Amino acid sequence: MGETYDNIVIGGGAAGCVVAARLSEDPDRKVLLLEAGGHNRRLSVKAPAAFSSQFGTKLDWEYWTEPEENLFGRSLHEPRGKLLGGCSSMNAMMYVRGNAYDYDSWVQQGADGWSAEEVLPFFRRSERNADLAGPYHGTDGPMSVCTVTPDPVTRRVVDACVEAGFELRDDINGEQQEGVTFTQVNQRNGVRHDTATAFLQPARKRPNLTVRTGALVHRVLLRDGRADGVEVSFGKDREIFRAAGDIVLSAGAFGTPEILQRSGIGPADHLRSVGVPVAIDLPAVGRNLMEHPFQFVNWELAGTDLGLADISHPKHLARWLATRKGKLASNVGEALAFFRTDRSLPAPDMEFVIAPLFFWEHGKRQHPRPAFSIGLSYIAPTSRGSVMIRSSDPTANARVQLRMLSDPAEVMAITTGIERAREVAVQPALRDMCGIEINPGPWVRTSEAVGEYVRATVEHTYHPACTARIGSPQDGACDARLRVHGVEGLRIADASAMPTITRGNTHAPTIMIGERCADFVRAGSTDRPAASHGQLIGQGA
């Protein structure tokens, strides 16, 4: 039998590091953080441009979707960080809060207290912005944010966006998101600044915080309607840790519903079908999965411009090791543009990610000549998928179904986005720089042909969310204070809690959710979910 803690945080990822660090600020609160992976000190973590080299390694949970019926039966790889910092140690470091419309719509869906105005202080609290200040930004938080120093190729593409009608903005995390901008990133002095570095590293000096890595969580233990323990294995050894206060699930949009389901909390019919005793029938757990479809358009570079094409040359590694500058300090997606494919929409539905290199198949596919890319992230998807466990075995990844592009309107929006990218490519700023179109290719022109191309090649933006979302017991997993319906002492703090996905990269909102959850735990040690939340079937061990 393991020790008893005041709070246990499951998952040392983007939000879990925030929750554990914030809770441990109280010296009288004994906190345990459990992380399945290991440390975040590898070169591939620290060097910003190396992020995609981590995909498919031991740092990756290696989720694969089921064959996607709307994508010609393709299975998509969904990399998820299995190390301290989680996906904040693996992503492209883009700091994008989303649109105010996202948060105000959450309130309309029943997430009281989550409006744009109400979440802004939590964004500001975590932020240490080196370049921007004012009412929308923090300058003394733990998390470093700065604006990239872009490659000359990126600057030219941004100039072309302006010529094509995009408004140039200094800040898409301020009052207005729509327009083109150079990316704000989580870096400090040319090095990735993940939440393990920003929040957890200083907190580990506190004697009341314990961090255990290599900790594979089997399930949360329930007793008399309350979550009071966690069953964990460390290799062949199994331990149980008890919690006197709240347990916080921060295992991500795949891991959190998996652990809930293995704990007997989820859709009763599915749990019975895989042999898991049902404790609480909560139909929404693992459902409502949202993800941003992502489509690249690539062009060869004409003339002498290289962009980041030669980034693997040893001289660039040597420069970065010596100075923390140069091409390896790039986050690759150096500029962003937000726009509407239909002017009647209430907010942007498309995000350009501008990269001064050829990027395809998670950065694994190469092209023989220098190139640049405009990635299109469709940030207002309507498709919904699911994450369902196959058994009670914690080593078996769940069955993930994105059901991407199940709505034909999504394909039409991406097709419109491709045409907009092509408009950018023919602007005067790129006249002597833009070579032949590699993908989709100049022969792919009709809407039907482009639509087929999209279904054959579309990927995702590494943004799964909403699988344990804030909502009612009928359509959600937790309430607006992140308390799991039907059980006391269990909260959720990660992207799975989003009622709907935000319009942009999900990293910054996930940190904000971690900040809010820590506040809820600290302020609400005595609050309890309403007795009607969820349907209590029985109790776990």
| Single-letter residue type at 198 | A
Q: Which of 193, 292, 316, 463 is catalytic?
A: 463
Cα 398 to Cα 220: distance, rounded to the nearest angstrom: 17
What SS3 class is residue 314? helix
**Count, residues in the chain:** 541
**Using CB atoms within 10 A of its CB, is residue 443 exposed (0-12), middle (13-18) or buried (19+)?**
exposed
Q: Angle between the 116-126 and 507-523 helix axes, to the nearest 10 degrees?
A: 90
Q: Which distant-in-sequence residues (6+ apart) come within 8 Å of 330 by Cβ?
A: 48, 49, 148, 151, 308, 311, 356
Cα 425 to Cα 437: distance, rounded to the nearest angstrom: 9
Strand duo 7-10 + 31-35: pairing: parallel
480, 473 Cβ separation under 8 angstroms: no
Segments in 345-480 forming alpha helices (H): 408-425, 447-457
220, 247 Cβ separation under 8 angstroms: yes
Q: Is 135 left (phi over 0), alpha (psi -120 to 50) or beta?
A: alpha
Q: Taken in order 308, 314, 317, 323, is the CA torsion positive or negative?
A: negative
19, 9 Cβ separation under 8 angstroms: yes
| Single-letter residue type at 103 | Y
Q: What are phi and psi of 33, to 5 degrees?
A: -110, 125
Q: Which distant-in-sequence residues (6+ apart) come within 8 Å of 108 by Cβ?
A: none
In the annotation, is 316 catalytic?
Answer: no
| Single-letter residue type at 329 | A
Cα 487 to Cα 285: distance, rounded to the nearest angstrom: 14
Cα 38 to Cα 36: distance, rounded to the nearest angstrom: 7
Cα 447 to Cα 440: distance, rounded to the nearest angstrom: 12
Tokens of 118: 């109400």
Q: Is the peptide bond before 440 cis (omega within 30 degrees of 0)?
A: yes
253, 464 Cβ separation under 8 angstroms: yes
Q: Is 390 left (phi over 0), alpha (psi -120 to 50) or beta?
A: alpha
Cα 461 to Cα 465: distance, rounded to the nearest angstrom: 11
Residue 439's alpha-carbon distances to 160, 305, 341, 355, 442, in angstroms, are 19, 19, 20, 14, 8
What residues form DSSP beta bridges with 439? 298
Cα 45 to Cα 51: distance, rounded to the nearest angstrom: 6
Cα 29 to Cα 22: distance, rounded to the nearest angstrom: 11
Q: Which residues are catalytic?
A: 463
